[in-house]
Structure 1
Amino acid sequence: MCGIFGFLCPGERARDVATADLEKGMALISHRGPDGAGQWLSSRAEVGLGHVRLSIIDVETGAQPMLSDDGRYTIVYNGEIYNYIELREELGGESFRTHSDTEVILRAYQRWGPACLDRLRGMFAIAIWDAIDNKLFLARDRFGIKPLYWAKTSRGLYFASEMKALRPFLDDRKVDNAALSDYFTFQFCLGEKTLMAGIAQLPAAHYASLTPGQVVHPVRYWDVQYNIDYSHTELWFAERLRELLEDSVRMHLRADVEVGSYVSGGVDSSLLAAMARGVRPDGSFQAFNGRFSDGLDFDESRYAQALADEQGMQLHVADIDEQDFVDHIAKVIWHLDQPTAGPGAFPQYMVSKRAGKSIKVVLGGQGGDEIFGGYARYLVAYFEQCIKGAIEGTLHNGNYLVTYESIIPSLETLRQYKPMLREFWASGLFGERDERYWRLVNRANTFAGILTPEALDQRETFEEFKNIFRGDNVGKGSYFDAMTHFDFKTLLPALLQVEDRMSMAHGVEARVPFLDHPLVEFAATIPADVKFKNGELKRLLKAVFASRLPQTIRDRKDKMGFPVPLNLWLKRGGKARDLIGDMLGSEQARSRPYLNAGMSIDAVLDSQSVYGRNLWALLSLELWHRQFVD
């Protein structure tokens, strides 16, 4: 895990100016690479590549930028290629100078060009300069685990692992209004957009080949296809899932340093930690959890401890309180680059801070919910289908057979969606399925009275939402597949942004074994009623690996998702309420064009109908404005 920065500018540049640009950009991402830094300039200084390093594989000789033997290609790269050993064998005849995955990528590109991406198994953001063809190659992994942004400026094209490294080179700093509409709707941006106008991200599973002055046109090299396979039994799917996930965990444990795991106490992270412990049963295995000091509703550490006791792990628990929120929230937003995906970034920052004191690499459970169906809102659609089917008389093949007793345990998880459910049910059951899901995930209506009518204009966002939801690779598959596909394409990248930034803030590499492309491709072929039946979320995953988990985790019905007690802090008053009130009630905040001028911040803080998540969205956006725009 590292950070990269670079530029591609037309015409010859003064070397001192080019060097200063490299140093300025690299300094802003230095936290990503505490173990070293390197930079390279072309002979005319029109191309610059910089790299800050966190040493994981080939600690001694894997430094970057790295040049090919003939000097034609120069690479900087951030990530891990888990099958680098196998690729090294496939590249037989090559004389390798190092044992690093960086050199494997470089030689693979020399031999296969952009087609080398099809062979890479891992997470990556890559930049390669071709001195013969005067071409810059940029590429990002299939899921967007590793970030890569670019900005087209009057000087040329600049790119980096984090947006903050591009900010000094922008010709103007202003908010992208289309991205802001996305943010108020979902708490993340759709597509290539970022909240900062002039900065875009290279989409997941895309590459771009550029010459100086050329417009960026990303090319997709991979996509998940929902080709549902009805020819196999549930037992066959279970055995194949077991094989693929076990293989992924083994591959994700490849490192020349110790690997530990985040353990929230939920199914996904607990399962990965248990499987990793099974691969490495000898010696210590470190796991990391966080808990708030505000009661059991905000504390999952008892579940993590049950796993640690059963598996012989050393569990480190980060104790988090309201004062930590006040002390660290500005740092969280600075590292996050732009606000996204809700307040869970804060506790993740605190847990990563604790992990960084002990270890360099951790496994995380991101991706499990989107691939196997773990969000409570999928239950809402399931119940809708049951009711609709009963009304229309279209229940068939057992797809929506349900009993009252089978769904009762799951109903409790829907409480967090009560405000959205009112809108959802009131709007009816029989519209287009994308419109129904839009009503379920759209958060903008909860900002009524707080935001201006212009800020709540969602027409462009809705059109983009429909294009994604109706993607060709889902086709006429199940509603369940359409929902998980949308979240896979939109919510998951936002969560991966949080995972990357919060871990790298403390020099920790987070790996996500659920996002191994052979596993994801296989999961997309599993029929919906095998993954999800009788109201049980992630049923197949739990059934296959139940024996790996303690009974207390297997029996859990409360999916917490690392909740932050914002509502509790607001209700009782204190430092967090004061911070939010002072920040959002300030003249600086009230001058924002999206806030309703007549809004009373005290009334908002006292309102029982306003989510703490909404206030998080406004607070983090205001902090971001002050740090990156003003």
Structure 2
Amino acid sequence: MCGIFGTVNNRANNFNSAMEKLEHRGPDGRGEWSSDDNRVYLGHRRLSIIDPEGGKQPLSNEDETIWITFNGCIYNYVELAQSLKERGHRFKTNSDIEVIIHAYEEYGEQCVNYFIGMFAFAIWDSKKQKLFCARDRLGIKPFYYSIVEDNFIFASEIKAILATGIVERKEDAESIHQYLVFQTIANDKTLFKNVKKLLPGHYMVLDKEANILEHKKYWDVEFNIDYSRSEEDFLEELNDLLHDAVKIRLRSDVPLGAHLSGGLDSSTVVSLASQYNRTGQPLKTFTGAFSEGEQFDETKYARIVAEKCQTNYMEVYPNEMDFIESLSKIAYFMDEPSAGPGVFPQYMVSKLAADNVKVALGGQGGDEIFGGYTRYLVGYLEECLKGAIYEKNSDLASIIPNLPALKQYVPMLKYFWAEGLFESEDKRYFRLMDRSGGIQNLYSTDVFKNNQTIFSEFQKVFNGSNSDSFLNKMLYFDLKVHLPALLHVEDRTSMAVGLESRVPLLDHRIVDLVAKIPPSIKFKNGEPKYLFKQTIKNIIPEEVLNRKDKMGFPVPLQKWYRNNVGDYVKEILLDKKAKERGIFNIKELEMKINNENDFGRAIWGALSLELWFKTHIDQ
């Protein structure tokens, strides 16, 4: 795991400030390369994981006509290296980085289709005088870029691009609107004007004048449903893929551990990792919780898994002073506002992990792949009701046993069905995903003036798959928009402390398989994660498999808000700069802050946005 930076068509010689901004991503080393005419610069900050001695970057091929700066890990590098050697390629290292170079020599831009892993890289091909940039299929690793006055600048983090002084520090009004609606951005924009992100599953090719010659989507989730296979067939293949996905992600030349929340996903990863652990030492696992009550503490389940797997189990219990002391740091590392306060405990658990290992496996992605969120059941229920009323195909009777899962989501149901019942699928899911309800009065009227534009961006993604299934459309949107926001948090909270995070459930082979499975099997009778649970029922403890109190790492901000956190929030949101900004309706915001007993989503969104302004724009 590393930090990458580079430019094309920029003749400046000093990119020291940009490289310094990425030091936390790669504390083990720094490398730089420039073309003879100084028109191309590649920089690299290294966190040494595989072949610590040989994998220094930027790295070249034998005749130094191809150079790469790379962030991530290619897990099938052993097999690819052997295949490429059989085709005549000669290797000078044992690193996964060199595999990318030779795969590019052999397959050109199509090399990305051979990689199992997470990656963001740029390759300069001096013979073709072209820069090839690519990002992994699910967007696990970040790639940002800017084109200003014929300069192409790219980096792992936006702060490095801004540090060049070439790109203006200016907010993008439409993106701020999107953030407040979705708590992320659904297209290739960022909150910074003139800074974009290369979308997951895409690559770009540029010439030496920084002209984009090709911008292509090389991978997508394809819902080509296979009705010829049985549930048992799918279970067998999924089981094999889960085992292999975890097994190859244990390849490391440095100490490795795993996050363990006590949920289905992380428990599965830990159980399989313990099974394939060949180090001779117990797998180290890391868990976080809060001491403010059982509703903030899942350690009971995490300990059950740790005991069964005989891991070296470690816990951290952050408190409100940790929150106050960490939030500005987190805002700096994140570059953009985070979707929710879960970024704080995730950062604290990453710190614990980084004190003990350099690589940590996690369970990210299970909900988006296998249908784990309650909102899928809410949307599915409405479709079943609609089908029953209009005498179309309906699974209403079959989902009744799973409806008790909605008990604690009655407020969501009231809101969801308050208007628009039985409208089009895109309008209904937009209503479920719209986070701006109840907060618009806290902002100036200009902020929410482009609602139709936001919905249009939503529609492009939601209706962008090849599926006519409502469930698959929901899953597709979340894989394309919601999941990258979570992976943004995953990347930044781990990289902030020099930790490599690996997410086995997001192996693209698993995503491809699950996309083929009929919704009636993977979401059978409206049961969230049905197929996944059937696959792992002999892998994880029964107490974890059958638990009904899924938490999602809640933070006790409601309680803390009445103490020091409340004063901290007022200090951030009601200072002179915030009042002059023109974003907030200060009168309504002040009333909300002073009268809200519970720290809600409205205050969190405003706090995150104002911290972003203070950290990244005001300076």
Which TM-score band (shorter chain)?
Answer: over 0.9
Alignment of 1:112-511 (within 5 A): 112-154=107-149, 156-168=151-163, 169-216=165-212, 218-280=215-277, 282-396=280-394, 399-402=395-398, 404-408=400-404, 410-414=405-409, 418=411, 420-457=412-449, 458-474=451-467, 476=468, 478-511=469-502
Q: Is the 8 A contact 1:288 1:316 kept in 2?
A: yes
Alpha-carbon shift at residue 242 of structure 1 (Å): 0.4
Q: Is the 8 A contact 2:144 2:196 kept in 1?
A: yes
Provide Cα deviations, 1:523-568, integer angstroms capped at 9, x if missing partner: 1011112111234210111111112212221121122111111222
Provide Cα deviations, 1:163-200, integer angstroms capped at 9, x if missing partner: 11011234422111111111010110111110011110
Residue identity matched to 1:623: L
Runs of 4+ in 1 over 4 A off after TM superposition: none
Counterparts of 1:147 and 1:340, CA distance in 2: 15
The reply to whether residue 42 of structure 1 matches residue 30 of structure 2 is no
Residue identity matched to 1:110: E
Structure 1 residues 161 and 254: alpha-carbon distance in aligned structure 2, compared to 1, 3 A threshold = same
Counterpart of 2:533? Answer: 542
Counterparts of 2:94 and 2:589, CA distance in 1: 61
Q: Is the 8 A contact 1:581 1:602 kept in 2?
A: no
Structure 1 residues 455 and 201: alpha-carbon distance in aligned structure 2, compared to 1, 3 A threshold = same
Aligned Cα RMSD in Å? 1.6
Residue identity matched to 1:162: E
Counterparts of 2:145 and 2:311, CA distance in 1: 41
Provide Cα deviations, 1:211-266, integer angstroms capped at 9, x if missing partner: 13334452111111001111111111111110111111111111112221111111
2:504 to 513, 517, 523: 513
Q: Is the 8 A contact 2:570 2:593 kept in 1?
A: no
Counterparts of 2:205 and 2:60, CA distance in 1: 18
2:98 to 92, 99, 103: 103
TM-score normalised by L of structure 1: 0.94
Percent of residue pairs bearing the same amino acid type: 43
Structure 1 residues 613 and 82: alpha-carbon distance in aligned structure 2, compared to 1, 3 A threshold = same
Residue identity matched to 1:435: K
TM-score normalised by L of structure 2: 0.96
Q: Is the 8 A contact 1:341 1:491 kept in 2?
A: no
- Which moved further from structure 2: 538-547 or 380-389? 380-389
Counterparts of 1:611 and 1:482, CA distance in 2: 32
Q: Is the 8 A contact 2:150 2:210 kept in 1?
A: no
Counterparts of 1:69 and 1:585, CA distance in 2: 59
1:579 to 568, 574, 598: 568
Q: Is the 8 A contact 1:289 1:317 kept in 2?
A: yes
Alpha-carbon shift at residue 622 of structure 1 (Å): 0.8
The reply to whether residue 607 of structure 1 matches residue 611 of structure 2 is no
Residue identity matched to 1:492: L
Counterpart of 1:616? Answer: 604
Provide Cα deviations, 1:314-338, integer angstroms capped at 9, x if missing partner: 1111111111100100011111111
Counterparts of 2:229 and 2:593, CA distance in 1: 54
Alpha-carbon shift at residue 590 of structure 1 (Å): 1.8
Q: Is the 8 A contact 1:261 1:288 kept in 2?
A: yes
Residue identity matched to 1:620: S
Secondary structure at the aligned position of 2:537 is classed as: helix
Alpha-carbon shift at residue 305 of structure 1 (Å): 0.7
User: Unaligned stretches of 5+ in structure 2?
Assistant: none
Alpha-carbon shift at residue 498 of structure 1 (Å): 0.5
Secondary structure at the aligned position of 1:94 is classed as: coil
Provide Cα deviations, 1:323-379, integer angstroms capped at 9, x if missing partner: 110010001111111113211111100000010000011111111111100111111
Residue identity matched to 1:242: N
Counterparts of 2:302 and 2:159, CA distance in 1: 35
Residue identity matched to 2:595: D
The reply to whether residue 628 of structure 1 matches residue 603 of structure 2 is no
Counterparts of 2:552 and 2:245, CA distance in 1: 24
Q: Is the 8 A contact 2:73 2:96 kept in 1?
A: yes
Counterpart of 1:57? Answer: 50
Alpha-carbon shift at residue 455 of structure 1 (Å): 1.3
Q: Is the 8 A contact 1:4 1:161 kept in 2?
A: yes
Secondary structure at the aligned position of 1:389 is classed as: helix
The reply to whether residue 72 of structure 1 matches residue 65 of structure 2 is yes
Alpha-carbon shift at residue 619 of structure 1 (Å): 0.9
The reply to whether residue 525 of structure 1 matches residue 516 of structure 2 is yes
Secondary structure at the aligned position of 2:208 is classed as: coil
Secondary structure at the aligned position of 2:187 is classed as: coil
Q: Is the 8 A contact 1:407 1:534 kept in 2?
A: no
Alpha-carbon shift at residue 405 of structure 1 (Å): 4.1
Q: Is the 8 A contact 2:7 2:40 kept in 1?
A: yes
Counterparts of 1:273 and 1:568, CA distance in 2: 32
Residue identity matched to 1:375: Y
Counterparts of 1:393 and 1:378, CA distance in 2: 22
Structure 1 residues 605 and 526: alpha-carbon distance in aligned structure 2, compared to 1, 3 A threshold = farther
Secondary structure at the aligned position of 1:25 is classed as: helix
Residue identity matched to 2:421: L
Q: Is the 8 A contact 1:412 1:558 kept in 2?
A: no
Structure 1 residues 454 and 215: alpha-carbon distance in aligned structure 2, compared to 1, 3 A threshold = farther
Counterparts of 1:391 and 1:303, CA distance in 2: 42
Alpha-carbon shift at residue 34 of structure 1 (Å): 1.1
Counterparts of 1:335 and 1:59, CA distance in 2: 25
Structure 1 residues 413 and 242: alpha-carbon distance in aligned structure 2, compared to 1, 3 A threshold = farther
Residue identity matched to 2:58: P
Secondary structure at the aligned position of 2:107 is classed as: helix
- Which moved further from structure 2: 33-42 or 448-457? 448-457
Q: Is the 8 A contact 1:32 1:52 kept in 2?
A: yes
Structure 1 residues 628 and 386: alpha-carbon distance in aligned structure 2, compared to 1, 3 A threshold = same
Alpha-carbon shift at residue 132 of structure 1 (Å): 2.2
User: Unaligned stretches of 5+ in structure 1?
Assistant: none
Secondary structure at the aligned position of 1:238 is classed as: helix
Secondary structure at the aligned position of 1:75 is classed as: strand
